[in-house]
Amino acid sequence: MKLTELMFNKYKYEMKNKLPRLQEIWKEIKILGAQRKGVRKSLDGKEAIGSTSFQDYLFLYLLVRMFKPTRCFEIGTYIGASTVIIAEALIENGMGRIYTCDKRDLSVIPLKTYPEIEIIKSSSMEFLTKLKGMKFDFVFIDGWCKKSLIRQELPILENFLTDDAVLSFHDYKKGQKGNVYKKLIDEYIESGKATGFFKKELEWVEP
């Protein structure tokens, strides 16, 4: 049974009740996002595009519900659709916080509604370099970086991951950013330079 099917089966009754609310939030974020300068828009200009699809949005929600992380880290905030869905799952879990970073200030997240969210305007590497004494048990990577920068980032990132952390990548097809990240992680592991999280045997799961 695929992970997606497993999660939907486990939370099917919750999703039946929660789905209209999640659709409403997703739609609202996309409409608000279209009002921000620098955001890609639909042909009619009414909605932001280039964010997570609704299917991906639900998958993220279920991942956080299933694994129940307490401290999440997101690379690539954009307008904040994925950030908000992670926060919604954390609220349902009754615990947790999400830190999300992006060099661009395009977020339309209503922070008063989501005190669980902290937005950091910086690159992930800049944020992690300054971070002290914090570990993440869930990371969602949805930001484009040059391969050279990802190679520099991985040794830093692994120091901030718990032993049982879950890493989730967006855009996983060949040539897309999630796929590139996975290949570079494999390369990093094979180099023998991993000292923490990436040193153990990892299990890669596709939706």
> So what CATH class is 3-199?
alpha beta
d(CA 117, CA 98): 5
Residue 83: which residues within 8 A CB-CB, separation 6 or more? 74, 77, 98, 100, 107, 109, 117, 119
Residue 78 pLDDT class (50, 70, 90 cuts):
very high
Supply the pLDDT for residue 85. 96
Supply the pLDDT for residue 178. 67
Q: Which two tokens stand for residue 184?
A: 């570079």
Average pLDDT for the chain: 89
Q: What is the mean pLDDT of residues 142-146?
A: 73
Residue 205 pLDDT class (50, 70, 90 cuts):
confident
Q: Which two tokens stand for residue 145?
A: 């970086």
CA Rg value for the chain: 17
Tell me if 81 sits within 8 A of 110, measured CB to CB.
no
d(CA 77, CA 86): 12
Residue 66 pLDDT class (50, 70, 90 cuts):
very high
Closest CA to 82 of 131, 140, 39: 140
Parse the chain into domains and list their residue ranges: 3-199
Exposed/middle/buried for residue 119 (C-beta within 10 Å: 0-12, 13-18, 19+) = middle
Tell me if 18 sits within 8 A of 12, measured CB to CB.
no
Tell me which of 51 and 164 has the higher pLDDT: 164
Q: Which of 8-17, 49-58, 126-135 is most confident?
A: 8-17
Supply the pLDDT for residue 82. 94
Say what percent of the chain tops pLDDT 90: 56
pLDDT of 34-51, one tens digit each?
Answer: 999 999 999 999 999 988
Supply the pLDDT for residue 160. 92
